[in-house]
Amino acid sequence: MSETVLPELPQELWRAGKLELAHGVRQFLQVMRVASAGLGQYLAEVESRGVKDLFGYGSTVSWFADVAGLSWGEARPTVNQAIALNPTRALDGTEVPALAPATGALAAEGMIGAERIAQILEILGRIPPDTSVEDRESAEKILADLARGAGPRQVADAEQRIMGWLDPDGNEPKDPEPKQPRREVTLERRKDGFWKLNGLLDDETGARTAAALEAYAKPRPVDEFGQVDPRSKAERQGDAWAELLDLAIACPDQPGTSGYRTLVHVTIGLDELKSGIGKACLDFVGTMTAREARMAACDCLMLPVVLNAAGEPLDVGRLRRFVTPGQRRALNIRDRGCAFPGVRHEARLTSVEVRDLHHCYVAA
């Protein structure tokens, strides 16, 4: 190994011109690369003689990490690169050729740095194992000659051409596994009584949801008083979600309900129910006004339970419908929609179009 002389620094570096600065950078860069290659040759010789016999360490990596003040993970790439670029000897004294001798010779000249060396070694590791020694050596020489003046992009492009030459058929194609649908929905009740709905839908389910919401979230037409729909898009989509939920709950094939609507517990005192003033307990976790409780009971299956002041049941009724299917059809034909003031839902989309009949029933 030839001796490398360090370049001299000018006494006042700030006076150096641009050509002198560039020349100094190139000189020190070459010195660093030559020194790194020389270090690799020493490490390869230590590996050949056996670090256990020389210094009592279990591996060359452990010894070098201790000498250089590095961690084991920091020392390992340097030692592995040194062994790959330089020939070593086995325990019986036979020579073990270097994996990349042409790259090692180029590194000894200071013409290639650690980055390109690592890139070339990675490419050589991807060459098919059944490649002949002659073809492997030819590929390594092509990469080394190219790395002398090329950058990482050019070396990567050369890898594709080399792989096409060594393995023209390429790897056997594998059918991609179908992507599993991913659907997540969380529902959380807030302290103010509202419910927060969050979700993550796969592409197909998201498209179906968007189409359904778009169909039911259209703005209401201008009424006879010239008023346009004041709801925002988010509010219209929220109302559309409520309509879709009503349709799903009313489905006779809904699991777990035997064709009946989903059960919701509404507890209200007798006086509040009669007057419509006061509060009702909703599913034991929330509250609603007495008026809202009466409105919600217009088209449902109700099981009335009368409680006394101490909360003891005085009378338990039985499930029955307030409105028969025939009465519903008659009201649909008569009202052509919901009869409640301010509600413009079509008859087939609403479950409250018989409120006026329920009010008459209560009054009776």
- Give the pLDDT score at 51: 92
Listed by start position, the domains of the chain span: 16-166, 181-249
- Give the pLDDT score at 215: 87
> For residue range 22-31, what is the model confidence (pLDDT) as tens digits?
988 998 999 9
> For residue range 131-159, what is the model confidence (pLDDT) as tens digits?
888 999 999 999 999 988 888 899 989 88
- Give the pLDDT score at 321: 52
> For residue range 305-359, what is the model confidence (pLDDT) as tens digits?
666 777 777 766 655 555 666 777 787 778 777 666 666 666 555 543 333 433 3
Helix/strand/coil (H, E, C) string of the chain? CCCCCCCCCCCCHHHCCHHHHHHHHHHHHHHHHHHHHHHHHHHHHHHHHCHHHHHCCCCHHHHHHHHHCCCHHHHHHHHHHHHHHCCEECCCCCEECCCCHHHHHHHHCCCCCHHHHHHHHHHHHCCCCCCCHHHHHHHHHHHHHHHCCCCHHHHHHHHHHHHHHHCCCCCCCCCCCCCCCCCEEEEEECCCCCEEEEEECCHHHHHHHHHHHHHHCCCCCCCCCCCCCCCCHHHHHHHHHHHHHHHHHCCCCCCCCCCCCCCCCEECCHHHHHHCCCEEEECCCEEEEHHHHHHHCCCCEECCEEECCCCCEEEECCCEECCCHHHHHHHHHHHCCCCCCCCCCCHHHCCCCCHHHHHHHHHC
- Give the pLDDT score at 260: 52
Please list the ranges in the chain whose pLDDT falls under 70: 1-11, 169-181, 224, 252-266, 268-270, 272-276, 280-286, 288, 290, 292-307, 315-325, 338-364
